[in-house]
Structure 1
């Protein structure tokens, strides 16, 4: 006996571990939303390119656009133009869009829109290993002296590439150095400071590359921010040349890298590029469904959400049946409430989905009462079991038809849904209640019928609770956990709540 109990407990533990592990995998690895109402920010980046076309001249506008592997999930990418050809290709690790037209007149506007989110995104792919050495540029005269004077203390206060770059940025941003002012040449813009930082790093044979980023923050007007990155032999290190911050923030979208300008324009003049960023909120579930419609990777690929919509609706009902069965098991085993079997309350609860609870209880009570009367009369006729059940089933169908017809005449749509009650279940309920009546009396049969109705009502309320339906449907591993609890309950031999209440009276009499 002990070996059997141990086997059952090991099985329950295995089911529990498998179910919990499945849920943890979906939450931590697949990034599945825990609740249906969980939402994520969706960033909408709008880029407007405006220019004045030259008459009777072919137009070609080439502009860098973000790579799609930068740690964000692209939901939609649009190139909006009027009578322009669009071509996107890769160049030196960047993506470049080319708008072209045979001719244009007057003011021209081209648009690029990108919708992205961090949900379901793969980690950003690092660039390929970069160079660790570059030749020093030729500097002469005062510039050479200023560069050497700045690099001498930088070398003394740095231990590796990371600290060397940080110290260089710190020195270039100092306003007290005459050497820095000489190299800046009176231009204190962030772009020129980044140029001087890059110049000093080049003199020290440290390769660096400018990276242009856009901040994902609500803004109606924004321009790409310049960063520098260098390769230390193992990883790429990012630095802000304006303040020396290291590490690219998570809200930064790399737009393009390199010294090339954002826009190259032929056949036009007076160009202007403006950026705006807006934040929207979207349900995480809708995000996954949107990705699935684009054949992109999401948790829906290996879940019940991949089924056709009618099948999903069916399984949303079926997958909740074990939840109702477990509730009936707990009611019977822990509380001690008697019901007409384990599955009858669950099946009645399914019928309540259409009739609702109040109308369902009234219809169930009415049909059962009439059926008991018919069954009692048939018992008086001494009919055999099969014939008796057949007649009761026939009268149940007749009552369903009459109630549906009456409800239709009165304009009550609830009366029509009574036909969804399982006819065989109602017939068997009538038969079993009557048997309990004969064997244990009318009071006991009424008690069992009320217990069945109460259990059915509780099962219905639990099985239609939307947060729970979403959780069980999205994380089917919950069913393994339910099975583990059922296995544990299979060896429960303790007192029930109703037994404790009943025995308390005996204990009080013994104390007296």
Structure 2
């Protein structure tokens, strides 16, 4: 016996571990939310391109797109332009959309929409490395002297590439520095500072490139902000040339790199680009599905969400049956409530999904009472079991039909749901109640009937509670956990709670 118990415990432990691990893997590896009500922010970036097309001239519009290595995950990308073909080209660090048309006249508009989620993008760490050496430009005269004069204190006050670039930005923003003023030619604009910074760093053999970033903030149209970046051999370092700030903020995305404008047009003029961002909230489970589909994630492909919608609704009911069975097992083996079998309360609880609890209890009580009366009368006719059950089943069908018709006449729509009540379950329940009545008396039969209705009601509430339905359906590994608990309870031989109350007088100490 001890060997059997150890075997059962080993199986239960294995099922518990497998169920828990698969559930945790879905939660943390696949980022599946534990609640159906969870929502997450999604950013929608709209870009509008407008220009005037020259008459009888081919038109080609090129616009840079955010790269695929962004730290945000792209959910959707769409291009809208009437009578234009569109293609996306992959460049070294950039992506570019190209709209083209043979002929276009007058005012032209085209749109680009990008949907991003702030979930961490695993591909961001796989961003391609950049150059670590730059050829020094040829300088002469005062420009050469000014660069050398600026590089000397920068080298003295820096220890690595990061501090070197920050010191260079600091000196270029110093309006009292004559060497910086000479190189900038008294032009402290963003582009001028970036140009001189590239010249200064190239003279120190440090490659740097311009990066145009967009701030994710809801509001009106905005213009991408110019930053610079350099590769230190391990990762890219981002700097704001205006303030010297290091590190790209969390609310910014890289749009494109290089000194070219965001868009240009051939065969047109008066090009204008408007960019706006807005935040929306979406359901987390839909978001996780969209991410999995974009990545061709096999973990989601094997889940029940890959089934047709009708099958999903069916399995939402089926996977909750073990939850109801687990409850009945606890009520019978631990608490000691008597019911008509183990699965009868669960099936009655499933029927309550159509009739609702109060109406279902009334129907069960009313039809069972009538059936018990008929069963008592049939007992005097000495019929065989099969004939007796057939008569009771036919009687149940007739009563259900009468209640449905009467309910429809009275405007009670719940009366029509009686047709979905399990007729066979009612028939067998009537037969079992009558046997209990004969063997152990009417009071015990009523007690068992009340216990069955109580267990069925609790089972219905548990099997129809939306958060639990979502969790068990989304994480089917929990069914293995239930199996482990069922196996563990299979060898329980202790007192039930009802028995403790029943025999409490036996454990009292004598006076």
Residue in 1 that maps onto 2:389 = 389
CA contact (8 A) 2:353 2:460 kept: yes
- Taking structure 1 as reference, are residues 379 and 120 closer, same or farther at Cα in structure 2, changes over 3 Å only? farther
Residue in 1 that maps onto 2:310 = 310
**How far is 1:181 from its partner?**
1.8
**How far is 1:76 from its partner?**
2.6
**How far is 1:420 from its partner?**
1.6
Runs (4+) of structure 1 moved beyond 6 Å? 292-295
Q: For structure 1, which segment, 366-375 or 416-425, has the greater mean C-alpha deviation from structure 2 after superposition? A: 416-425
Q: For structure 1, which segment, 482-491 or 266-275, has the greater mean C-alpha deviation from structure 2 after superposition? A: 266-275
Q: For 1:237, what is the secondary structure of its paired residue? A: strand
Q: TM-score, normalised by structure 2?
A: 0.94
After superposition, residues 257-406 of structure 1 pair within 5 angstroms as 257-290=257-290, 297=297, 300-406=300-406
After superposition, residues 96-135 of structure 1 pair within 5 angstroms as 96-119=96-119, 121-124=121-124, 126-135=126-135
CA contact (8 A) 1:219 1:276 kept: yes
Structure 1 distance, partners of 2:14, 2:26, is 18
Q: Which digits, 9 at most, give the CA deviation of each residue in 1:191-217, with x for residues without a partner?
A: 222222211110001111212121222
Residue in 2 that maps onto 1:453 = 453
Q: For structure 1, which segment, 252-261 or 308-317, has the greater mean C-alpha deviation from structure 2 after superposition? A: 252-261
**How far is 1:297 from its partner?**
4.2
CA contact (8 A) 1:221 1:274 kept: yes
After superposition, residues 17-166 of structure 1 pair within 5 angstroms as 17-119=17-119, 121-124=121-124, 126-166=126-166
Q: Which digits, 9 at most, give the CA deviation of each residue in 1:117-172, with x for residues without a partner?
A: 23485432644332221211112222211111111122122222233223222332
**How far is 1:459 from its partner?**
0.5
Structure 2 distance, partners of 1:393, 1:80, is 64
Structure 2 distance, partners of 1:112, 1:168, is 37
1:503 to 2:503 alignment: yes
Q: For 1:67, what is the secondary structure of its paired residue? A: coil
Residue in 2 that maps onto 1:426 = 426
Q: For 1:221, what is the secondary structure of its paired residue? A: coil
1:228 to 2:233 alignment: no
CA contact (8 A) 1:36 1:470 kept: yes
Structure 2 distance, partners of 1:447, 1:299, is 48
Residue in 2 that maps onto 1:178 = 178
CA RMSD of aligned residues (A): 2.1
CA contact (8 A) 2:43 2:117 kept: yes
Q: For structure 1, which segment, 114-123 or 191-200, has the greater mean C-alpha deviation from structure 2 after superposition? A: 114-123
Q: For structure 1, which segment, 482-491 or 302-311, has the greater mean C-alpha deviation from structure 2 after superposition? A: 482-491
Q: For 1:274, what is the secondary structure of its paired residue? A: strand
Q: For 2:269, what is the secondary structure of its paired residue? A: strand
Structure 2, unaligned runs of 5 or more: none
Q: For structure 1, which segment, 192-201 or 80-89, has the greater mean C-alpha deviation from structure 2 after superposition? A: 80-89
**How far is 1:59 from its partner?**
2.6
